[in-house]
Structure 1
């Protein structure tokens, strides 16, 4: 960011100039006296060693008020800890003010310095405004608190002053008074309101990682299933999200929400299930009351305030631009995600959000990121000044809004202010330093050009911790007096008049930060998402209640491309695998029941195939296709190789579908059954079975066998009768005259002459 050589518009009056010179002279007197009292070798020794002023750690825990007012007092409290190996004696903590910072860069440089530097660090105020310690043994800590009237601080012209809190003392090896520890911070001094106050927009993000799975219960309410119950800790008192809502309720901020978080918490309020540790079963969630309380508090906090809704699940725009745009269908998710966002926020928070903003990670942009960011209809892209850097030589920080072409506005957040609280804010010392530096930078921006009002935007980290949120809130409360700044909502900031010389050139793709590029979702992630979407599209067309499946899986697909997966590719992959596996398990609930081989006896018969539906809802718009692989032997439905039947099965039921088969020749014939959707897309796995064609059926064989048996029985009867007759004839010839009715035992050759009348011819 271009800097002014000094603060503009701060020319002091003659009286102020005299006071300033007098104060500088008086401030320098104790320093000179102190130097005269020191042994000549001491400064040189400290300079050579470079560690003398780092012997004691000075922690500045509180500074109140953070922006002093004329006629008031300033209280500084903290802790000193002896990090050295020797006992420090005759020690005291003192304060020194000065010099006034000339630019934003000067503030940065002062904050980075460590150790005491003669000439750069101001002399002590001295007198009664010190805290004495007779002895400070090695490893021991002591607390201190010093209160000083503002009039004693030597503050002159408006601006940012350096405040040094130093520990003076001596050790056995260095028996002379010296600075053994120092901490620096900043005092923003603005005794009177500026005429043109900086308009400050602070984004307050309500975003979390993914907690919901694609699974739901089979009950009417479709009870949601969470992968764990960790979100409850964030919502509970003292948790990260609870602190954000509680603190934000009292701040002039623009809420930036991920509608997925709202939908997730809303699902918790209605009762939910949580996966057990084995991942196979679920148990009831325990944070329903916590979720209700948090959501109620949020609804109250956002009433009458500007709310910016990100696309559902906060999709990673840069990953889409660099890795996903070449995978068909990837970009098509953005517009539905934006539409869902508006509906979710309005129904849950009872307020209408703005969906006209896109927020790439860390505000890093290039042409492809901008194209993707606006593809869902957003006209404003939240960038950051370390990405869209100034090249026009402006002597001040320009307003955030910049037209970048195509009807798109880049709202460029200030990088210094946006990253002010990204470090560890869990200790009071670190938090206090960050707050004071933030306030110093805001005043420095205003004083760069007091005649020109500008609009500055702050876009902090997406997932601030509870301690970071507390530090952010403390900094904003430091601006409550509105002496040099005033709050402005994000929608108004995007419409602010841009500076004519502010850069509007979006950096090229080669300039996109390499560290951020390494964290992006890989192309495989979008390929997985496409595979899941294709399977979902194929599945939903057969359902009678599509919303029960489309909604949870559609949201899961949005979540699979969330920004929250950055740096956690293994976890992201596991989530995508879980979504797809569960979808496959549902599609497998509609399947063909494996059929055993069949025998077709005779010329024609009926072949039944069973379709089973284990889903709780019915399926329709399915077609069952049966195909004979050897049409010369077996045809279907008369003379067809392939036969089809429409399929409609109620939830939890099975249906037997029958086909007519006609045999042309004997032998085994493989037959393939496959379900299709009505558009001809195969559904599920195919099933193959064999039909054995045999012309003689078992029934026919029984009839034939019965006929043969009857013939055999008839032959046996005739043979028996003849045998009995022959036996009788033989018995009559031996005992009496031949009877006319008895047959002749032997007959001669047949005569060709006509027989006489009454002659019996036995043939």
Structure 2
């Protein structure tokens, strides 16, 4: 039989009338039909009510349903091509009452959804489109409180009664008998059922997938880890392990954060995890080293196949950094990514300048200009972040001196992953595939299939010079499920969907675009208060680097403790603290910054002035000693800054350069000049060569007595008196010597 094409006339008819009917039908349903008494999987004829009534329960009613119904499987993917459609799932009695005779019924709407914007409503837990059908299976004779039971409902494809292509709301509704004998609906779950009848011709839509591989790295400056979340994420069942274990041969572009790969290499070599965040001594050996090594090898393998494009180091929040005056860090992260790839063995990985996805898929104009000036040529952006005049998968952006190419990720497909319930776990994600997690992945898969089917049905009849329509799927840091099961569908034969490399989107027809940065994007950035802490940390990092003695950087020309990204450890820690992955974990981010700042403060505290006590000047000018101690393992060069509190009476030199060897102390003689006797106070402070002060100030007390002048006066007076006394004695002796010699002795006697 000749295939029946989806004609343009049919499309116009659909858009003019059926879409409105679908929207109305989705908001309405039909009364429940009494449970048939036939055997399981019997298919009796079920009449449709003439007057539909609303079937959207309130939030309270959804909460009150005693059974949690989770759909875990729906197959086959191309349901219209198979004789049987199977629904599988799990029932859990979350009430405090036993339930009996639990029948799982098919619930179905036979009005197709033809507008992609309406698809998200199907997955809304509070929305119940369609009506309960007569197909059912006995899921359990009884279900005790807290107990769970799996179920499987097989439905003959012909009994679904679906004839037109489109997406239908389908699911399962459970009826059960309560302890009081009443019977009613105890649980429901719906999903999207794409339907393309056999013989219907429609072009296959190209699907290009670019997925970020990033996570917070909470490595402290001393090399320990604040938590074991990263190792957990790389272990089997963890989020990062699940990502790379998905469809390894599919044309997926993995946007890999080099900081995460660097951490994986560190974990693989053995690592320590702190038990107490603030206490480095509490660190104990981690246990995920083998898992990290296996994950690292998988990243290297994917890089070798050309499926890896590097993200900037730490996937820094470029827009937030620019807003805080730290835009240069975004460029530093680009250079560090390239350096890390060479060191970590990521041969074949593409440079981030070839394709860069800013965090959240959005970027403002100043950041785009900065990235363009740094050599970035292509951005991967969400479609909501670019204003274009016609639908396209790529756009030209007039930015800076050279235009940028923007690959546009489909905004509705982004919602498939960003809005899925957080059943997949946290950033670490080490948990078995629970029913909730599998249900979330199934729902995302069905929505992906649904979106691509509608895009294929309404694709241009003549696609133009770029060939097929291409939809770009991009996850982001807010994705709440692992896309493992979702991306696995790309390996299966789906007639309306064809996996293509991201280059296909770049090669598709391009339109002119203009950047848009919504207010909501600003609210989602790293908070300004947090970035103030990062700025303070940056200043401390710069201060610490400025103290390094030229002798410490001689020889190889670089410090010996650079990390694989070619960064000083404190600089790498600062970039990691500015990672967009911290947006969802502000408390841990603040702890990271505080720990890095405390590390630098502790290092600076090991360089200090030793106060030798009171200092006395014995003249108007003199010299006194000051000692600087360096307890670091490397030499430093500091400036000793002195400031007299009474400069008019006591003058001291403002600065003195001092080089202090590692683990040693240096004493320098400092000159001072006093123009009057008295006691003076001098403040002594250490600073870098550029004058940036650090550490506490020391107070020196100097006493000027002018003792030398007084001593000379005293000595002069004493000498004069000595001369006078000697002269008098000498004069007396001369006079005595001149008396007459002929005077008789008797005459000289005194008469009695």
TM-score, structure 1 normalization: 0.72
Q: What per-residue deviation string (whole Å, max 9, x for no partner) do you get for residues 554-595 of structure 1? A: 122222322233255454344333322322222232222112
Give 3-state SS (helix, strand or coil) of 2:349's partner.
coil
Kindly indicate whether residue 285 of structure 2 is the aligned counterpart of residue 285 of structure 1: yes
Q: CA deviation at 1:402?
A: 1.7
- Mapped to 2, the partners of 1:383 and 1:277 lie a distance apart of 40
Q: CA deviation at 1:540?
A: 1.8
The 1:366–1:753 alpha-carbon spacing in structure 2 relative to 1, beyond 3 Å, is closer
The 1:700–1:751 alpha-carbon spacing in structure 2 relative to 1, beyond 3 Å, is closer
Give 3-state SS (helix, strand or coil) of 1:531's partner.
helix
Match of 2:204 in 1: 197
Q: 1:341 aligns with which of 337, 351, 354?
A: 337
Q: CA deviation at 1:313?
A: 1.7
Q: CA deviation at 1:338?
A: 1.1
Match of 2:473 in 1: 458
Q: 2:542 aligns with which of 533, 537, 543?
A: 537
The 1:131–1:568 alpha-carbon spacing in structure 2 relative to 1, beyond 3 Å, is closer
Q: What per-residue deviation string (whole Å, max 9, x for no partner) do you get for residues 621-673 of structure 1? A: x44455667788777xxxxx527654222100111112456776644344454
- Mapped to 1, the partners of 2:447 and 2:165 lie a distance apart of 16
Kindly indicate whether residue 225 of structure 2 is the aligned counterpart of residue 239 of structure 1: no
Q: 1:104 aligns with which of 107, 110, 116?
A: 116
Match of 1:420 in 2: 416
Give 3-state SS (helix, strand or coil) of 2:114's partner.
coil
Q: CA deviation at 1:257?
A: 1.7
Match of 2:528 in 1: 523
Q: What per-residue deviation string (whole Å, max 9, x for no partner) do you get for residues 486-512 of structure 1? A: 2233354334322x5xx83434x5x42
Contact persistence 2:246–2:487 (CA under 8 A): no
- The total of aligned residue pairs comes to 660
Q: Which moved more, 1:225-234 or 1:548-557?
A: 548-557
- Mapped to 2, the partners of 1:615 and 1:48 lie a distance apart of 69
Match of 2:660 in 1: 649
Match of 1:437 in 2: 447
Match of 1:403 in 2: 396
Give 3-state SS (helix, strand or coil) of 2:495's partner.
coil
Q: CA deviation at 1:88?
A: 6.9
Match of 1:185 in 2: 191
Match of 2:679 in 1: 668
Q: CA deviation at 1:617?
A: 0.5
Kindly indicate whether residue 730 of structure 2 is the aligned counterpart of residue 756 of structure 1: no
- Mapped to 2, the partners of 1:542 and 1:699 lie a distance apart of 45
Match of 2:499 in 1: 487
Match of 2:89 in 1: 78
- Mapped to 1, the partners of 2:621 and 2:6 lie a distance apart of 100
Give 3-state SS (helix, strand or coil) of 2:241's partner.
helix
Q: Which runs of 5+ in 1 are unaligned?
A: 1-5, 13-27, 217-223, 636-640, 719-748
Kindly indicate whether residue 271 of structure 2 is the aligned counterpart of residue 267 of structure 1: no
Give 3-state SS (helix, strand or coil) of 2:286's partner.
coil
Contact persistence 2:619–2:709 (CA under 8 A): no
- Mapped to 2, the partners of 1:59 and 1:432 lie a distance apart of 10
1:369-384 to structure 2, matched below 5 A, reads: 370-371=368-369, 374=372, 376-384=374-382
Q: CA deviation at 1:8?
A: 5.9
Give 3-state SS (helix, strand or coil) of 1:668's partner.
strand
Q: CA deviation at 1:259?
A: 1.8
Q: 2:698 aligns with which of 670, 687, 694?
A: 687
Contact persistence 1:62–1:77 (CA under 8 A): yes
Contact persistence 1:306–1:489 (CA under 8 A): no
Q: CA deviation at 1:445?
A: 1.0
TM-score, structure 2 normalization: 0.73
The 1:90–1:73 alpha-carbon spacing in structure 2 relative to 1, beyond 3 Å, is closer
Give 3-state SS (helix, strand or coil) of 1:144's partner.
strand
Q: 2:577 aligns with which of 560, 563, 567?
A: 560
Contact persistence 1:236–1:242 (CA under 8 A): yes
Q: CA deviation at 1:614?
A: 0.8
Match of 1:15 in 2: none
